[in-house]
Amino acid sequence: MFDTIAALGHEQVVLCSDPGAAYRAIIALHSTRLGPAVGGTRLLAYASDELALLDALRLSRGMTYKSALAGLPFGGGKAVILRPAGAFDRAALLRAHGRAVESLGGRFVTGEDVGISAADLEHVRLETRHVAGLLGGAGDPAPFTARGVLRALEAAAAWRWGSADLRGRRVALQGCGAVGAQLAGALDRLGARLIVADPDATRLAAVTAQTGAEAVAPDEIRLVAADVFAPCALGAVLDDASIAGLRVELVVGAANNQLAEPRHAAELERRGILYVPDYVANAGGILSGAMDLLGLTRDEVERRINAIGDTVRHVLERARADGVTPAAAADRLAEERLARS
């Protein structure tokens, strides 16, 4: 465990427990070099405690890089709450989490992530000030995230095909949740042709009804012949098996940690697939949190989200200049900012 933490470069990893509230969580602080470690809280059932730890470690590291590249004065952190097996008191669990966050004295500032809604954060807020994205503040980050993914997709399309116009482009969208549904709506309005998948039948039906998208089974979406694969569900979707089955030219999506392992970036490149690093494409969520945390206006946040397309171009130019994958180029740019601080 300590070797893993040292290899990923974390400052601190906190194991939290409050049996009375059925609360067990891991808070990983990767870096506070540029500012407080900012990152969402995820509430999920994990197959093992080790997998939960690995998720927290990888996600928090991703947040350091995401904020650095988005030009924000934040470090990187992440919390994962292990979803209790049986029935549980959600408010009590969330308040226990608030106390754990508060105990870190502002070194960690959290927000939504998978399994946590803006309404859930209100319970966390009862115990700590160190929460962003509350109702009445910036609120749900998903629309901002979706807009940023769209800007990243347009920039990648322009790089690959010489035009940012997505009309008629086939997009295979994995996940019709908060971000996926917003992205589907935006792509539909731009004239893209959508193929979508989600194990949640209600969410899937909402998106197909809204956009006329074709629905396929969750285990088929990665095999669909399309122009773009947009992962907007969980992480580690790009592994040896899935990359071998991909029939697209671009991979651009909101999901965090899309690469199962760093080496998969090279595997995508070898197969002629342009991969936009996840933390570049999905920075809209953290940028919307900056409304609360830095007092940025909505206009300023929207300007910065629209600039995600410029960041993608910058990353792709650097990748070409250095002869490395876009993922490696994005890491280099982020590390350079960290080193300058």
Q: Which residues bind ligand NAI (CB under 6 A)?
A: 113-114, 141-142, 145, 174-180, 197-200, 203, 218, 232-235, 254-256, 282, 285
Which CA distances in Å does 334 have to 35, 266, 268, 292?
14, 19, 21, 23
Given a contact cutoff of 8 angstroms between Cβ atoms, the answer to whether 13 and 37 are in contact is: no
Min CB(162)–ligand NAI separation in Å: 29
**In terms of Cα–Cα distance, which of 108, 117, 36, 26 is closest to 72?**
36
Residue 205 Cβ, how far from ligand NAI at the closest point, in Å? 12
Catalytic: which of 10, 24, 58, 78? 78
Closest CB 66 distance from ligand NAI, rounded Å: 8
The runs of H, that is alpha helices, within the chain are: 2-8, 49-69, 90-103, 118-125, 142-161, 178-189, 201-211, 240-245, 264-270, 278-281, 284-294, 298-306, 308-322, 326-340
Nearer to ligand NAI, 201 or 339 (CB): 201
8 or 216, CB closer to ligand NAI? 216
Distance CA 290, CA 66 (A): 13
Residue 76: CB minimum distance to ligand NAI, A: 13
44 vs 190, beta carbon nearer ligand NAI: 44
Residue in the block written with tokens 């999506």: 253
List Cβ neighbours of 341 (8 Å cut-off, separation of 6 or more).
33, 34
Report phi then psi at 104, rounded to 5.
-85, 0
Nearer to ligand NAI, 178 or 315 (CB): 178
Is 66 catalytic? The answer is no
Measured from the CB atom, the residue of 283 and 328 that comes closer to ligand NAI is: 283
Q: Measured at CB, which residue is nearest to ligand NAI?
A: 177
CB of 119 to ligand NAI, least distance (A): 13
Q: The tokens of 184 are what?
A: 């589907």
Residues known to be catalytic:
78
